[in-house]
Amino acid sequence: MRLIRGLTNLKMLSRQVNSPLANGCVATIGNFDGVHLGHQTIIEQVKNKASALGLPSVVMVFEPQPREFFQGMEAPPRLMGFRQKFEALMAAGIDIVLCLKFDGTFRSYSGMGFIDNVLIDGLAVRHLVVGDDFRFGCDRAGDFALLEKVGKSAGFSVENTRTVTVAGERISSTRIRNLLSDSKLAQAESLLGRPYHIRGRVVYGRQLGRRIGSPTANILLDKMPALRGVYVVGVTLEGGVKQDGIANIGLRPTVDGKQPALEVHLFDFTGTLYGQRIDVVFRHGLRDEEKFESIDALKAQIARDFDAARAWLAEHSGHRNTDPN
């Protein structure tokens, strides 16, 4: 699998003699936030067509996501960061991920400008899989009908994405975010096709957890998370070792946190995790994130959280599930 960042690198690659895009590709376009069951159906469409044509499969995504560019801090929270998304697409068997920077220059492309510069000159696309409600270009003139019209003369075909529903509703990232915000983890899992999890690298924190008797592994998050609060978690360490624990995810209001973070305490664990990439599966919600009047009050609540988490784990010891794949 290959990652291509930016339109300049895409065009440089397309001009190479042995370019993987020399004969074109089969592509799809979207945010793919969460790489949920609906996305996985689209990916299978792309892979099947690519295999039939003997061409590479391509997923085009954007950083930041368009709504993040336009809405800033008001944009919806993400289900996963870019690296985790790339890893999920790789696991799904996509050949190439094209990540384009969504900025002022990119948003100025007209519908035809996007088709000419990205789809034709860049990807040499032979077949495109998109939703029939897909819109693009600063003039909003780009749609499914335009793609079909241009494709007939430019030599590429267009296919509509298949809709996947659960309980009579279409699977979407928005629907999953809403479930996670209500701590409905089992329902979110049914749409994702796996337990909800966050993968990241453990960094040095403020050592507050260690000073109050509950050392934590800290993962800083680039974007506001889709769920907030205190959870029972299952953690997979590098090397595949699995541990139970408890996690707080959010802004840590009691200590005036400014950047969203995931803080994980592993039960019955000794050692250091700094620098490791760990995978945190959210298994059960305990409470919302809240601000306490003092560190002592926070410490007392953490002790109660530990007791509640251990009780839940004891009750559900026969249903352990910490595998996100």
User: What digits encode the pLDDT tens for the residues 133-150?
Assistant: 899 998 778 999 999 999
CATH 2.40.30.30 domain residues, the chain: 196-319
Find out whether 86 and 94 touch, Cβ atoms under 8 Å.
no
Q: What local confidence, expressed as pLDDT, does residue 212 receive?
A: 44
Report which residue type is found at 146: L
Instruction: Place 213 in a pLDDT band, splitting at 50, 70 and 90.
Output: very low
pLDDT of residue 259: 82
The dihedral through the CA atoms of 268, 271, 272, 278 has a sign that is negative
Average pLDDT over residues 222-249: 93
More confident residue, 105 or 270: 105
* Helices and strands, counts by H and E, the chain: 11, 14
DSSP label at residue 161: P
Average pLDDT over all residues of the chain = 91
Nearest-angstrom CA–CA distance, 224 and 255: 17
Residue 254 has pLDDT above 70, yes or no: no
> What's the pLDDT at 238?
92
One DSSP character per residue, 86-114 reads HHHHHHTT-SEEEEEE-SHHHHT--HHHH
The CATH 3.40.50.620 domain(s) of the chain lie at 2-166
If you average pLDDT over residues 52-59, what whole number do you get? 98
Calculate the dihedral angle through the C-alpha atoms of 45, 46, 47, 49, rounding to the nearest 10 degrees. Answer: 80
Share of the chain above pLDDT 70, in %: 92
pLDDT above 90 coverage of the chain, percent = 75
CATH number of this structure's domain 196-319: 2.40.30.30
Q: Determine how many CB atoms are found less than 10 A away from the CB of residue 243.
A: 18
Q: pLDDT band for position 270 (50/70/90)?
A: confident
Q: Distance (Å, rounded) from C-alpha 237 to C-alpha 243?
A: 8
Q: What is the mean pLDDT of residues 95-108?
A: 95
Position 286 scores a pLDDT of 96
Please report the pLDDT score of residue 77 as a whole number.
Answer: 94
Looking at residue 257, what is its pLDDT?
59
Query: In this model, does residue 323 exceed pLDDT 70?
Result: no
Q: What is the pLDDT of residue 325?
A: 64
Nearest CA among 101, 107, 136, 109 for reference residue 10: 101
Handedness of CA 131, 89, 279, 321 (dihedral sign): positive
* CATH architecture of the domain formed by 2-166: 3-Layer(aba) Sandwich (3.40)
CA 86 to chain centre: 8
* Beta-bridge partners for 173: none
pTM beyond 0.75, yes or no: yes
